[in-house]
Amino acid sequence: MARRREYSYISPCIKWTLFFFNFIFWVFGMLIMAIGLYGVIFTAQDLHGLQSVEIAYIVLTDLSGVLVALGSIIFIVSFAGCVGALRENLCLLKLYFWSLTIFLIAELLVAIACIVFPWKSREIIESVLSKQLIVEYWESTNRQNFVDFLQSEFECCGITADGYQDWEANEYFNCSESNQSVQRCGVPASCCIKRINMTQDIMCGYNTRGKKNKVIYHKPSQTIHKGGCISAIIQFLESNLYWAAGIIFGITLFQMYVTHQARSLMDQISLQRARWY
């Protein structure tokens, strides 16, 4: 009887490989969550004076709130896979397996939707991002930094195909007569074209969308980028199509691999328990 118990159906290779990968993602999830929490605290302090409901909404829809949510999901799922593999716990492994399966199905459905309905998918993405990034640009420093990073790095202005005209939706940049802001009919400085051997003028976007008069000396195309960021990002991905496809394929393949490993380990644990009991 003792000899029978010495033999194990559970593969040490599968067990420790699954533990190792999930331990790395567990630490990675904690790091993302910590960065997000730091951003949440920073944003909450920056919004001091607003009502609690307003602060909660801004924080939850802010980049820091997204990082906290993403980090929490990675942390919980990786923890289930890590401890489940180490302790050979079927409940945790089932949570891990079904979580990854749901993620894979969701990713597949999103990919199919983008392929079958490309323009509708783009319209939805542009609508959501315009609300979050353009209309609420001044709501938090994190949001401003993110938008400025996008516009500077991808040399774009605005989100949708309307480009720099998207900023009409922002209460500080719109051209309405009731807007008394100094930024009226303008765009953020991150929209400005960077010129060689010249420092960027933070007022280069001033009145860029206004009527041509004595205040304006150049056309918008001479001072700012006119195209939207979604189009710029799509062009960037198309110019680096093989790299982008390779990264997406690699991530998907890795998810399928660890899901298969989790299923295999679950079956081996069940066999081992059946053999013992």
Q: pLDDT 10s digit of each residue in the chain, 277 long?
A: 445 556 778 899 999 999 999 999 999 999 999 998 888 887 777 666 555 655 566 666 678 888 889 999 999 999 999 999 999 999 999 999 999 999 999 999 988 888 888 888 888 888 888 878 898 888 778 888 889 999 999 999 999 888 899 999 888 888 888 888 888 888 888 888 876 544 555 567 677 776 554 444 455 657 888 899 999 998 998 898 889 889 989 999 999 999 999 999 999 999 988 887 6
Instruction: Look at residue 2 and tell me if it is in a domain.
Output: no
CA distances from 94 to 60, 244, 261 (A): 30, 31, 12
Its sign, for the CA torsion 213, 189, 138, 165, is positive
**22: Cα within 13 Å, side-chain hemisphere:** 29
* Total of domains in the chain: 2
Tokens of 54: 């307003």
Same domain, 93 and 57: yes
B/e letters for 94-114, b = 16+ CB within 10 Å, e = fewer, are ebbbebbeeeeeeeeeeeeee
pLDDT at 116 (0 to 100): 86
CA distances from 11 to 7, 81, 143 (A): 11, 16, 47
Same domain, 61 and 110: yes
Instruction: Look at residue 25 and tell me if it is in a domain.
Output: yes
The range of the structural domain enclosing residue 215 comes to 129-239
Same domain, 93 and 178: no
- At 224, phi and psi to the nearest 5? -130, 160
List the one residue out of 24, 77, 260 whose CA is nearest residue 268. 260
User: What is the amino acid identity at position 272?
Assistant: Q
3-state DSSP assignment of residue 246: helix
